[in-house]
Amino acid sequence: MKERHKEESIKLRYGSLYTVIDMLPARGLVAAKEVSREGKRPERTVYALTPAGLDELRDWMRELLRDPAKEYPQFEAGLCLMPVLPPDEAVSLLRQRALQLSGTVWQMEGQLAELAQQDLSALTAGEHLPAPLADQKFPPLFAVEAEFRLALVKAELAFVNELVRGIVEEGWGPVEMWRDVQAACAKQHEKSE
């Protein structure tokens, strides 16, 4: 998974990975296919999905693709608590975020364009490819999660830019009330010191 950069899409906790792997054969979802050892290194077991494991994997994939789930991104938490900061500081931080997001979009677009031009056989390090994939460029099917991340970053960038514009040009919030709340909090804080 690490070699294929899947850790960018799947949050891996390497400390608990072996615990999970130990549970899969116990539940009948995988079976040992072969055991090998190189030199003085520990044994390496290669597993294969059982029919029950394939059914479980497909059920899980159907759920992941079909059912939207509430996620808790840090940025959403920051937006929820944004009034804690003065409007001018919030705008400055949002502009910094937009710059970082712009850089990320540029980098991701470049990586995807480069990947799309790569010959698939050159990326597989001599592994045998099925006939339909031989002599093909890298198929978008295998980079779909990167395309999704790029779409999310672009959407966030558009949102941040529009939020900054709304605060600065339209007094979104309303920004005067936001400033008044900040001033009242500052006075309250001064009295308590």
DSSP strand pairing (30-36 vs 44-49): antiparallel
For the whole model, what pTM was predicted? 0.82
Q: What percent of the chain has pLDDT over 90?
A: 60
pLDDT of residue 48: 94
Q: Tens-digit pLDDT profile for the chain (193 aa)? A: 666 667 777 777 777 788 888 899 999 999 999 998 888 888 888 899 999 999 999 999 999 999 999 999 999 999 999 999 999 999 999 999 999 999 999 999 999 999 899 887 776 766 777 777 777 888 888 899 999 999 999 999 999 999 999 999 998 989 999 999 999 988 888 888 7
pLDDT of residue 1: 64
Task: For the beta carbon of residue 173, count every other beta carbon within 10 angstroms.
Answer: 16
For 188, the token pair is 């309250």
Distance CA 41, CA 28 (A): 27
